[in-house]
Amino acid sequence: MNHRDLREAIDDLDRRFWDWRAVQAPRSRDDLPRTDRPVGWRPAWSAGDVAAYRDRLDAFGTEQLALLDARAGNATEPGGLDRADEVDLRLIGCAIARARFELDALKSWQRDPWFYLDQTIGTIYDLLLAPPPIDARRCAEIVLRLGSFGTTLDAARRNGAGELALELAEMAAEVAPTAGRDLTRCLGELAPFVGPEWATRIERAGQVAAAELDAYAHWLAGALPGARPLGGVGEPLFARYLYEVALLPFTPAELRAAGRQEWDRSVAFELFEHHRVPDAPWPPLPAGAAQQAAAQAVAEAEVRKFYEEHNLLSQPATLRHYLNAPRPPYLEPVRWLGVSDDLTGPDRLDQDGVSYVPPPSPELPYFYRANAADPRVGVVHEGAHYQQLVLAWAHPRPARRHFYDSCPNEGIAFYNEEMLTQAGLFDDAPVTRRIIYNFMRLRALRVEVDVRLAVGELSIDGAGAILEQRVPMDRETARAEAAFFAATPAQGLSYTVGKLQLMRLLADVRATQGASFSLREFHDWVWRNGNVPFALLRYERLGDRSELDRTDELRARYAGAGLNGPPSPPG
């Protein structure tokens, strides 16, 4: 197969896979994997739907293998072109492996009753995250999704019978009894934003949907006594995620060692900062959410100016802004459904990203309290997500436009925090520097918690206690983090591990280029390719297969670890 035909075949497979994935992918509480859905979409999680998903994944996997074989036999093009094509093919393999892991390792559609809160009321929450105006198209989608609750929750009861994981079921049982009421309150607050005709239609559909949620909560209460301990996915299946999806060249023990080293480093830096300015007072809180949003807009402009003046990262004129806004009243009752931000999407690159904030208060949870103290804290992490995603969504290679695993995305945002701190952005703010170093402690500790949860060494309550005591952080946030990591193995470790991979790549590119190295050019390239695992970026940029080869070596150790379909092949 010549290079042009191979390139077209890769793009065709990528397009068909992601068209399918836009329909199949489960809704997530995380903001990075949020998926733009086609008009008229509704979740589908019956046993027959799951069987059809498996068959489709097998077909996609067969196509990807055939293209890998064709690529291996193509020696007509320069190595650089072949290398880029291999990266794209491996990305498609990562996407297939992720979907298979969700279906047959996590089995959230069977084990986690919160999964179906996400697939019902969570899908309404997602429709409401983009700022007003809420037009007729969005209203129609809200009514359609509300009407799907009964079918989705019937599948939940059938799939979960005898399969529920106790700890996940207990977490869901804490919120399920009020989910119907929360939905009713949400839709009531929405009415002034949609007009009387749509408000009436939404209210009627919402009454039925709320009753379905109430019935689901009743079923869940009765099913709890039969739930089985969660345990964890276990090391073999966890390893398949690490080596087939995330492409991480580390064993679980090596991951924990890296986390421990980063923990020591973060504790030392935080101590140094306290010694440097021992009595630094927290800055006064804004008078309200609107004042905080206004201060954040100034801070966002300041950070962007800092990037340019210090030659760190290009800020093209076409790039919109990442801003705060007061949380709309209709989101308040359902804020427990995920990160309350809108990072736009591939078809909305001309719109600002927005993060909704609550009224400032000393009693705010961990992250909200930090952002209220200095809005730049949010800009340098969530704002980095916004810029990275927008740049990646415009990538000329379609395979680079999609989310695969959190390591590159979270690694970039975490790296950005530390890079800007070292560059001097927070030289005027000792408390902010403490916050940044405390974030480092949290991200380092997440590695240990994530790995131990995945291999079954730690319970959700035990993980929450570790986070609460050792970061420290408020109990509510700590327990929510632990539950999220238990349901999404390898997400918690992604911040630290991704940052360390990126810093190693930075050092090696600098060593290779010498005096011609440009930090701005390197950052521009990384942000634009920020969805791509760093093992693949290392291979593409440097021709260095060491991380890929180690990943493939580790993958082979777990090749028979219980997932439907074959493991993704090495490149």
pLDDT of residue 449: 96
Q: Given the structure tokens 């998926």, which residue do they identify?
A: 35
Four-residue CA torsion sign, 43, 48, 51, 55: negative
Instruction: Write the pLDDT tens digit of every residue in 397-436.
Output: 999 999 999 999 999 999 999 999 999 999 999 999 999 9
Instruction: Write the pLDDT tens digit of every residue in 294-315.
Output: 999 999 999 999 999 999 999 9
pLDDT of residue 245: 97
Q: With a cut of 60, say whether residue 571 has pLDDT above it.
A: no
Contact partners, residue 71, CB within 8 Å, separation at least 6: 1, 6, 82, 85, 86, 89
pLDDT of residue 80: 36
Nearest to 48 by CA among 123, 119, 109: 109
Task: Give the whole-angstrom CA distance, residue 278 versus residue 130.
Answer: 42
Nearest to 6 by CA among 76, 97, 95, 58: 76
Q: With a cut of 90, say whether residue 82 has pLDDT above it.
A: no
Total Cβ atoms within 10 A of residue 252: 17
pLDDT > 90: percent of the chain: 92
- Full strand arrangement of the beta sheet holding 341-342: 322-326, 353-357, 341-342
Q: What are phi and psi of 33, to 5 degrees?
A: -85, 10
pLDDT tier for residue 563 given thresholds of 50, 70 and 90 = low
pLDDT tier for residue 339 given thresholds of 50, 70 and 90 = very high
With contact defined as beta carbons under 8 Å apart, do 227 and 166 qualify? yes
Instruction: Write the pLDDT tens digit of every residue in 116-125.
Output: 999 999 999 9
Task: Give the whole-angstrom CA distance, residue 362 versus residue 373.
Answer: 10
pLDDT tier for residue 564 given thresholds of 50, 70 and 90 = low
Q: With a cut of 90, say whether residue 43 has pLDDT above it.
A: yes
pLDDT tier for residue 76 given thresholds of 50, 70 and 90 = very low
Instruction: Write the pLDDT tens digit of every residue in 343-358.
Output: 999 999 999 999 999 9
Report angle CA 120, 121, 125 to the nearest 5 degrees: 125
pLDDT > 70: percent of the chain: 96
Instruction: Write the pLDDT tens digit of every residue in 162-181.
Output: 999 999 999 999 999 999 99
With contact defined as beta carbons under 8 Å apart, do 527 and 321 qualify? no
Tokens read off for 105:
């390792």
Strand 322-326 versus strand 353-357 pairing type: parallel
* Average pLDDT rounded to a whole number, residues 33-49: 97
Task: Give the whole-angstrom CA distance, residue 462 versus residue 449.
Answer: 9
Task: Give the whole-angstrom CA distance, residue 470 versus residue 468.
Answer: 6
Task: Give the whole-angstrom CA distance, residue 131 versus residue 352.
Answer: 10
Nearest to 397 by CA among 109, 186, 85, 49: 85
Please, what is the average pLDDT of the chain? 94
pLDDT of residue 355: 97
Contact partners, residue 493, CB within 8 Å, separation at least 6: 255, 259, 446, 447, 450, 451
pLDDT of residue 72: 63
**Max CA pair span of the chain:** 68
Counting Cβ atoms within 10 Å, is residue 495 exposed (0-12), middle (13-18) or buried (19+)? buried
Nearest to 394 by CA among 527, 515, 517: 527
**What does the buried/exposed string (b/e) look like for 118-143 if buried means 16 or more CB atoms within 10 Å of the residue's CB?**
bbbbbbbbbebbeeeebeeebbebbb
Query: 341 pairs with which residues across the strands?
Result: 355
Higher pLDDT, 214 or 68: 214
pLDDT tier for residue 493 given thresholds of 50, 70 and 90 = very high
Instruction: Write the pLDDT tens digit of every residue in 216-267.
Output: 999 999 999 999 998 889 999 999 999 999 999 999 999 999 999 999 999 9
pLDDT of residue 447: 98
Instruction: Tell me if the bond preceding 38 is cis, omega within 30° of 0.
Output: no
Task: Give the whole-angstrom CA distance, residue 559 versus residue 554.
Answer: 9
Q: Given the structure tokens 């089995």, which residue do they identify?
A: 107
With contact defined as beta carbons under 8 Å apart, do 270 and 123 qualify? no
pLDDT of residue 232: 87
pLDDT of residue 561: 62
Instruction: Write the pLDDT tens digit of every residue in 197-211.
Output: 999 999 999 999 999
Task: Give the whole-angstrom CA distance, residue 411 versus residue 499.
Answer: 4
Q: What are phi and psi of 563, to 5 degrees?
A: -95, 150
pLDDT of residue 79: 39
pLDDT tier for residue 78 given thresholds of 50, 70 and 90 = very low
Nearest to 386 by CA among 343, 351, 328: 343
Q: Given the structure tokens 């990037």, which residue do they identify?
A: 307
Q: Give one word for 301, left, alpha or beta, with left for phi > 0 and alpha for psi -120 to 50.
A: alpha
pLDDT of residue 75: 47
Q: With a cut of 80, say whether residue 81 has pLDDT above it.
A: no
With contact defined as beta carbons under 8 Å apart, do 175 and 148 qualify? no
Residues 510, 512, 514, 520, Cα dihedral to 10° = -40
